[in-house]
Amino acid sequence: MNGVKFKVANAPQTLDGWFCLHSLYRVDWPLWQALADSERDALLAEADALMAGEQAKEADHSGSSGHYWLLGHKADLMGVHFRPSLEGLAAIENAWARSGLGRFLAPAYSFLSVVELSTHTSAPRSEEASREAEAALRGRLEPELPRTGYICFYPMSKLRGEQRNWYMLDAMERRDLMRSHGMIGRGYADRVRQIITGSMGLDDWEWGVDLFSDDPLQFKKIIYEMRFDEVSAIYALFGSFFVGMRLDPGNLRRYLAKG
């Protein structure tokens, strides 16, 4: 191309685990409020049963699900589901669409991805890796959703601009940058749990980030600090942020019983 030579960067290998679906809905409040109390109670009982059935998947390690009441105008409810296959996620999506409550839920946003661990910050495992290390790795690739009170979810990508392009950086430079970036996250390990999913080829952004904490102020603190890190300051592109409170079977009524 006119004598211009492009540097080809080696793509780092990833370890991939369970598929993940974020399903966000808006409640049709006028339609919901028009129901009699007995009808609402019946629909909420069915929704509680669906949520309990999803959580039961954790007992036999065949998946994990969580539901959250979102703040703000972007959506009202969010379901986060991890399953070994896309078929498992489709079954969940269809179950909610066919449910009685589904008639009152309008899709607002969705995000499809797969749990991803990058080798930027972790060395390949040796043949002598302990059983404990193997179990820890499996737990990260097939995660059980933390039962914290709050969640912060956002999609993101890396910059591919004319002057700055993450994907054209040397592998060692990317590794050093990510190692420095990861040190900030480790400083919040006792306050914030993080799950990263990859969405290249699956959705519009490149990654999804879920943060879990019992103190929602920690979401601002960790993201604010990371904005001053070079990886975020120069190369990160962020989508919308969604923050919500965890719902367990039974407490969905707190938000929907009276409308």
Q: Is 188 a catalytic residue?
A: no
Nearest to 155 by CA among 252, 237, 45, 38: 237
- pLDDT digits over 207-243, tens only? 999 999 999 999 999 999 998 998 889 999 999 999 9
Binning pLDDT at 50, 70 and 90, where does residue 1 land? Answer: very low
- pLDDT exceeds 90 at position 151: yes
φ, ψ for residue 146 (rounded to 5)? -60, 145
pLDDT tens readout for residues 104-115: 999 999 999 999
Both tokens of 60, joined, read: 């036999």
Distance CA 251, CA 257 (A): 10
pLDDT in tens, 51-65: 999 988 999 999 999
Domain range list for the chain: 14-123+132-256
From 25, 150, 154, 188, the catalytic residue: 154
Instruction: Kindly report the number of other CB atoms within 10 A of residue 10's CB atom.
Output: 8
What tokens were used for 45? 């009982």
Give the relative orientation of helices 86-98 and 37-55 as an angle to the nearest 10 degrees.
170
CA contacts within 13 A on the Cβ side of 213: 18
- Map residue 174 onto helix, strand or coil: helix
Q: Coil, strand, or helix at residue 112?
A: strand
CATH number of 14-123+132-256: 3.30.70.1030
Residue with the two structure tokens 């290249």? 200
